[in-house]
Structure 1
Amino acid sequence: MKAAGGIAAALLALFYLYGGGLKLLRNRARLRPMMAWVDSVPMPAVRAIGAIEVLGALGLVLPPLTGLARWLAPAAALGFVLLQLGATSVHLRMGDRRIALNLTLLLAAATSGWLTASSL
């Protein structure tokens, strides 16, 4: 059970490190092909979402690896569940029905949170 939680958290962290890093480093024009929603959100908010994703990714993997503040890993996973609920809402409000990735990330975050919380 512990290994499954670690694998789920690591995969989720890789995804969010990549996506969050792009939001932090790329301009609106370079983000637009991958993330159409960036046109409807101010760039400081896009950057803040990127920072939250990067910090959350670190929160998923560092506490279990170091043994310090291990409660942060399930808290980070819960944060990603909430983030994906918001992202799904934005997609649906914009008329974008392609939410399979959002729902997959939501389920992965919920699974990771449940597995890491159960191993505390």
Structure 2
Amino acid sequence: MNIVLWILAGLLAAIFLGAGGAKLAQPKEKLVASPNMAWAEDFSPGMLKLIGALEVLAAVGLILPAALDIIPVLVPLAAVGLVLVMAGAAITHARRKESSAIVPNLVLIVLAGAVAWGRFGPYSFA
């Protein structure tokens, strides 16, 4: 199970490093023009940068603390943070009546929740 949790953490880290990096690197206008990012028009540029920074920090927090054996409790905390970010994303899509966009959010919530459960519980680094 430890290997499965590492794989899930790596997959989540790659997804959120890319998604968060895009939000940090691109202006709001370019994000809104993307087919899957129409929701960005509801947020200020600063809020989009904050969301991107949170996603990048969570991606780093899923891997580095455990890999470097420095405060490994940050791994499940980062996973819980991603659950919260994705819950907010699902709520945003629900308010915009974008029901098809909620499914990926729910999948990411389940994956991040599994990492949080495993690393807080039976497969912790302690």
Bucket of the pairwise TM-score, normalised by the shorter protein: over 0.9
Per-residue Cα deviation, 1:59-91 (whole angstroms, up to 9, x for no partner): 000011011101000000001111111110011
- With the length of structure 1 as denominator, give the TM-score of the two structures: 0.96
Runs of 5+ consecutive residues of structure 2 not aligned to the other structure:
none
CA RMSD of aligned residues (A): 0.9
Unpaired segments ≥5 residues, structure 1: none
Shift of residue 29, structure 1, vs aligned partner: 2.5
Find the counterpart in structure 2 of residue 38 from structure 1: 40
Q: Within the alignment, does 1:112 sit opposite 2:107 as a pair?
A: no
CA contact (8 A) 1:78 1:109 kept: yes
Rounded to whole Å, the distance in 2 between the matches of 1:115 and 1:7 is 12
Q: Alignment identity in percent?
A: 36
Structure 1 stretches of at least 4 aligned residues deviating more than 6 Å after TM superposition:
none
1:116 positional shift: 2.1
CA distance in 1 between counterparts of 2:112 and 2:31 reads: 24
- Matched letter for residue 53 of structure 2: A
Return the alpha-carbon distance in structure 2 between the equivalents of residues 22 and 70 of structure 1. Answer: 27
Distance in 1, matches of 2:78 and 2:118, equals 13
Letter paired with 1:114: W
Measured after TM superposition, the shift of residue 30 of structure 1 is: 1.9
Partner residue of 2:86?
84
